[in-house]
Amino acid sequence: MPADGHSSDQRQKDFAERFAACEAAVCGCRPIVERAYRELVGRGRPDRHALEAATVVLRWHHPELAMPEAEQIVERWVAGNILH
Amino acid sequence: MSPDDALPSRLERACAERGLKMTGQRRIIARVLSESADHPDVEEVYRRASAIDSGISLATVYRSMRLFEEIGIIQRHDFGDGRARYEEARGDHHHHLIDIESGEVVEFQDGELEEAVARIARELGFDMIGQRLEIFGRRTKRKGTEPA
């Protein structure tokens, strides 16, 4: 068992639960995060900058999310808009 | 006339000012963008550039345009047709304020801020090649209302 008392399975489960809550937009933050991203890209900001800013917005609504988790969620939400 | 013989385009000069190494192909891509009066997407830039040098690949165009975008000399636009389109960056420099409660993005300019940032870089012994400022906040009053 790791020093923090949580197994990696438990951590994965916790993350999945938080992620599911955001995906379902229970708190209504998703359209806000997407709007911030969309408006920044529309004003000519590079994808990476817009993603970082949208992640800050998400983390204000969900301070419990760690940075990598928040980034993953935002990338997933705006994935259709990213230029590959 | 080869790309090396022609006078440098505005974008080439901007690249040089930012210390970006200019290969022949990068120079052609910069020239195509400088001479575009419209907002071409990457594929269109590739078509125009490969008409000048058939050795240019789409991957090179993508890489160069990402680089130009990152250093702020071209600007991406989204006109809602699902394609990213580009133009030379405007000379004026904008910053953004992001409303964390609505996601609204407010663009602003401030001459004093620009001067202050340039002064800070200079005092720290740097030639500034770019800057980025995003303010995150919440509205304290509705638009168009005066404080009590």
Nearest alpha-carbon partner for B54 in B28, B16, B80, B73: B28
Mean pLDDT of B5-30: 79
Architecture per CATH, B10-88: Orthogonal Bundle (1.10)
Residue B70's Cβ-side half-sphere holds a number of Cα atoms within 13 Å equal to 8
Q: How far is CA B128 from the centre of its chain?
A: 15
State whether residue B101 sits within 8 Å of chain A by CB: yes
- What band does A1 get if pLDDT is binned at 50, 70 and 90? very low
Mean pLDDT of B115-136: 86
CB contact under 8 A, B103 and A44: no
Domains of chain B, residue spans? 10-88, 95-137
Phi, psi of B85 (to 5 degrees): -120, 155
| Domain over B95-137 is classified CATH 3.30.1490.190 | yes
Nearest alpha-carbon partner for A45 in B64, B16, B98, B26: B98
Cβ pair A57, B136 in contact under 8 A: yes
Mean pLDDT of B81-89: 75
CB contact under 8 A, B105 and A83: no
Mean pLDDT of A46-65: 89
Mean pLDDT of B51-78: 87
Contacts of B14 (CB under 8 A, 6+ apart): B73
| Chain B residue with Cα closest to A35 | B103
Mean pLDDT of A50-74: 91
Q: Which of A64-73, B51-60, B79-88, B107-116 has the lowest mean pLDDT?
A: B79-88
Domains of chain A, residue spans? 30-84
CB contact under 8 A, B103 and A57: yes
ipTM of predicted complex: 0.71
Q: Is A43 helix (H, G, I), strand (E, B) or coil?
A: coil
Average pLDDT, whole number, for chain B? 81
Question: Which CA distances in Å does B21 have to B26, B45, B72?
Answer: 9, 20, 15
User: What letters, b where the CB count within 10 A reaches 16 and e where it falls short, cover B34-45?
Assistant: bebeeebbbebb
Query: Which of B32-41, B80-89, B99-108 has the highest average model confidence (pLDDT)?
Result: B99-108
